[in-house]
Chains A and B, each alone.
Chain A
Amino acid sequence: MKMKKATALMMTAAIGAAMFTVPVFAEEVETEPANTVSGDSAAEDAFVIWGWNEDIKKILDGPFAEAYPDLYKRIVFVNTGGSDTYQTKVDAILEDPSGELYPDLMGLEVDYVLKYVNGDFLSSAGDLGITADDYANQYGYSLDLGTDYDGNVKALFWQATPGCIQIRADLAEKYLGTTDQAKLSEMFSSWDNILDTARKVNEASGGTAKLFSGYDEMFRIFSNSRANGWYDENDTIQVDENMTKYMEMAKICYEEELTYNTQQWKDDWYANMAGDGETSNAAVAYCGCPWFTYWCLGDAWKANTILVQAPEQFYWGGTGLAATAGCADTDMAAAILKFFTCETDPMVSINALNSDFVNNKEAVQKIADAGTTCEYIYGEQDMISFYLPMADGIDAKNATAEDQDINSLWTTQVDAYARGEKDLDTAVADFKSSVHDTFSYLNVE
């Protein structure tokens, strides 16, 4: 009798304890978008490719299917429906190479490509039979992003992403008095000029239009042109001079109300892109790069976009492709990688499909020589020719594997500083300790 009672008590206690704790990890699922799988993943020769949107798939469906119809039939494409949750999803699936949806090839974004490149998940390009001659035409900075500590090239990029500032022509005419590319370039040639330009827009519009939607528009320009990444080779967290300059710019913008303080990719940010400056608020300029110009601008920017150089030479984003360590068919992986990232003619056809600035010097030169059209560009400007000189000399040595997470911790401190809640030293110190808190192997000096 006693025994039974004890058992019953223990069981009740155990169930009770479970009620208290278990759901902490279990609730994650609901907040993630569902995967979309196309193709027959159960087929014996299925070749699985992972990405977070339809970019890769469109190229596979278009030029690739035409060039390699037999290979194309075997492709299973998994779209995770968003870049922000991509790592969580992919990490779980990479643990088991025998899984049906284990990727043979996967897309990797700049913000976290180094995590996979420096880990044990990927095959090197050399193992697939891709040689340095094959990717000789690629931009050097993209190769840096795909190379591990030991110098093995693992991820190859099909797009190069030189950054710029995009200006809406009708608003520039109205508030800055010109649509001349050279004059506008001058207005954006230094940070002081940009502040002056922003004040000018404020004055001319009376506050219904501002130069930028939010001060974070300048974040990528500062961060992706800085000399030092978020931590040095001894894993000591560091804040580059560029980043403190950015904080100062943010503070000035906040105090003088030079922007609407929106966050990139949020509703208000999009609203300012579509606004007209009279009945609704509008932003005159957005930080840009090739994929942004052809893919992210709204209707108000059609035949209405002028591209100018930013004060610093920077890159923004970019997608790499890499074969996994357990890739079932390395020949096929090599064929796809070469098609996407090495061979000139296929890469010209990729540009024809989506207007992208492909990561192949010979191909972009060809494209520029032939002349390009992009429905968003105002007047005579040629998009690829404009980006061409800016792609040389980009330095991506500042990228780290943890950039995505560290950047969001950084944003928090920049906001606090800009709003006057903290002084600069406190904000920087708080940033460092919060990075150390999340990544215990990174140290505060």
Chain B
Amino acid sequence: MKKRRKKVRYGKYGYLFVAPFFLTYAFFQLWPLINTFFYSMLNYYKRNGREFSEFCGLQNFQNILGLVSGEKAYVLHYFKNTFIIWGMNFIPQILVSLLLAAWLTDNKVRLRSRGAVKVITYLPSVITAASISVLFHALFSQYGPITMTLKNLGIIGSSFNFLESSAGTRGLISFILFWMWYGNTTLLLISGVLGISPDLYEAADIDGANGRAKFFRITLPLLKPIMLYVLITSAIGGLQMYDIPALFNVSNTGYVGFPNDNSTTVAMYIMRLYNSDVGKAAAVSVLLFIVTLIISLIFFKFGTSNEEKAEARRRKKRLSEGGGC
């Protein structure tokens, strides 16, 4: 005999509680997002404060990619700048953060006042990007204290000027980003390392594994999910990089990165276009979105291990056999 029990459904209250977020999200994020896609297909420009717009299909994309005669693919140059600056910041950042995370969690490394070290590594990201840009510009300008010191020590030539050299400017922007964000990455990685079961390390110790073996055989493989998260968020943030390069070594309008347009990032380009040509700006935004998506998916593909994939397949199979929950 079947007994029918009356179930109380609390589910609907849950929806009520999450509703405010989804409503704000829909108005302030989803709608503009859809709009951006729409604008990218408009010939929508401003002249003397008057706006003109008409539908033009994929014309904007053909223009920004230089597929039409008379148009040049400036966006590729800005993507190149962005990738160089991002790469020079991210690779050292992940290496230093990994090292710091390993040291700060390993009891054998008897680091004194660990708390203080963590706070200090995190501090730079508390300062506003604007102040840091201005500060570094002053430090590394032609007569800036650091430039002068390096010249006196003979490390750089007497006529070298960081702000006149593409490598110098890009390198400094990368360094600022590295210095600002490595503390944040370190904290994320530390939390990842602390999530690894201590039993594993204990077992390894008993087996006589040294620090290096433990790092490469235990820490690194088990950090993969966190690493994936760090990689993807950094790629998203890095490709949209705007504030530091837009304030560091630029024309007075802030949209042309000196020298020779070599420190202009994609986001700066979008801002430059936004004031004159909204349709084109939207097209560049969409392109940036697609590139970011592809890069994230690549990371995701390589970041998920084979075992995890196998596990996911098994689970799926079980589910389909069991007929769902």
Contacts and interface: CB of A to CB of B under 8 A. Distances in A.
Tell me, yes or no, whether A binds B: yes
Interface of A: 1, 11, 14-15, 17-25, 27-28, 30-31, 84-85, 87-88, 91, 94, 114-116, 118-121, 260-263, 265-268, 271, 280-281, 401-402, 404-405, 408-409, 411-412, 415-416, 419, 421, 433-434, 436-441, 444
B146 to A, nearest CB: 13
B197 interface: no
B293 interface: yes
A439 B240 contact: no
Given A15-B25, A87-B275, A408-B255, A415 B143 contact: no
A267 B138 contact: yes
A411 B242 contact: no
Nearest to B161: A261
A267 B247 CA distance: 14
B236 interface: yes
Contacts of B251: 408, 411-412
Contact of A27 (B143, B253, B267, B276): B267
Interface string B266-296: 0100111111110010000100110011001
B318 to A, nearest CB: 17
Interface in B21-75: 22, 25, 29-30, 32-33, 36, 45, 47-50, 63, 70-72, 74
Nearest to B64: A437
Given A20-B296, A24-B285, A412 B261 contact: yes
24 contacts: A21-B285, A22-B29, A22-B32, A23-B240, A27-B267, A28-B242, A30-B129, A31-B243, A31-B247, A118-B48, A120-B49, A262-B142, A268-B142, A281-B143, A401-B47, A405-B253, A405-B272, A419-B164, A437-B71, A438-B276, A438-B277, A439-B47, A440-B45, A441-B45
B234 interface: no
Contacts of B70: 433, 436, 444
A84 B141 CA distance: 21
B137 interface: yes
A217 B240 CA distance: 34
B69 to A, nearest CB: 11
> Which of A11, A267, A409, A433: most chain B CB closer than 10 A?
A267
B72 A267 contact: no
A261 B159 CA distance: 11
B141 A266 contact: yes
Contacts of B296: 20
Interface in B128-151: 128-130, 137-138, 141-144
A280 B144 CA distance: 12
Interface of B: 22, 25, 29-30, 32-33, 36, 45, 47-50, 63, 70-72, 74, 128-130, 137-138, 141-144, 161, 164, 236, 240, 242-243, 246-247, 251-256, 258-261, 267, 270-277, 280, 285, 288-289, 292-293, 296, 324-325
Contacts of A30: 128-130, 243
A339 B257 CA distance: 41
B48 A119 contact: yes
Nearest to A266: B141
Contacts of B261: 412, 434
Nearest to A91: B49
B274 A25 contact: yes
Contacts of A280: 143
A409 B256 contact: yes
Contacts of A20: 236, 289, 292-293, 296
B236 A19 contact: yes
A262 B33 CA distance: 41
A419 B129 CA distance: 31
Given A28-B242, A441-B47, 5 more contacts: A17-B289, A30-B243, A94-B49, A405-B253, A433-B70
B22 A88 contact: no
B260 A18 contact: no
Contacts of A31: 129-130, 242-243, 246-247, 254
Nearest to A444: B70
Contacts of B277: 438-440
A409 B273 CA distance: 13
Nearest to B37: A21
Contacts of B141: 266-268, 271
A116 B325 CA distance: 65
Contacts of B63: 440
A122 to B, nearest CB: 10
